[in-house]
Structure 1
Amino acid sequence: MDQTSKVVSLVGDYFSLAYDPSSRKFEEVFHPHCQIQWLRDGALESMTAQAYRTLIHGRASPASSGAPRDEGILDIRHISPHLSAATVRVRIGNNSFVDHFVVHEVEGKWLITNKSSFLAGSFA
């Protein structure tokens, strides 16, 4: 499988994890040192991968509420043979996000090492 296919596969696993956290192992998508970041009222907020894991496993999943699934890859760039970036859109419940991922191949496995996100819109 080429680099693009590996990154696309990882992003697909992220989409499945976001929709139904029980569908994928978190550690097969996110590196344990991953940082999740976003802006709130102009201030940078962040959390660790472990805190994000706790968050997504502690809330009702979009799948459990029958929320529609809406997601897509907006862009993929390869920086080196072991480093890529991907920009995606994903609906989680009533919110639409745009996420930018930095992904590394670590010990032969592609993982998200940074997730920067913003709330692009909400559905009533």
Structure 2
Amino acid sequence: MTNINQKILEALKEDKAANEFSEEQANALQLIMQSFKGTFRLTFIVVVTLQLIFAGIAFYCAYQLVNESEIGIKINWLAGTLSAVMAFAIARLWFFMELNRLSIIREIKRVELQVSLLAETQKNQ
């Protein structure tokens, strides 16, 4: 058991990015920017790009909805607006769920480090 604790301790001590970043002192924007530095960087970029596209489509459809006078075409623009807003909301929820997952992973790594440090001190005593 001490062998695995030693491996965890060495791996976590070498991970300087995890040790430098403190979630307690970070605001939401810093947490979002931190997510773009991980392994899912490309996925986050694609999802944020999709959010911007869906927001643009929603605004365009809403603008056309307001300016249209025929009821049949208004319903079509309303369906487009609602679809774009729903797609935006789904992408947004996924993004924040991923931020939460990354936050939990960082916290688990901290707990592993604390357990490894505790095992080291117990072994030395």
**TM tier, smaller:** under 0.3
Higher Rg of the two aligned structures: 2
- The TM-score normalised by the length of structure 2 is 0.20
Q: Which has the higher strand share?
A: 1
Length-normalised TM-score, structure 1 = 0.21
Q: Which has the higher contact order (CA 8 A, sep 6+)?
A: 2
Between structures 1 and 2, the one with greater helix share: 2
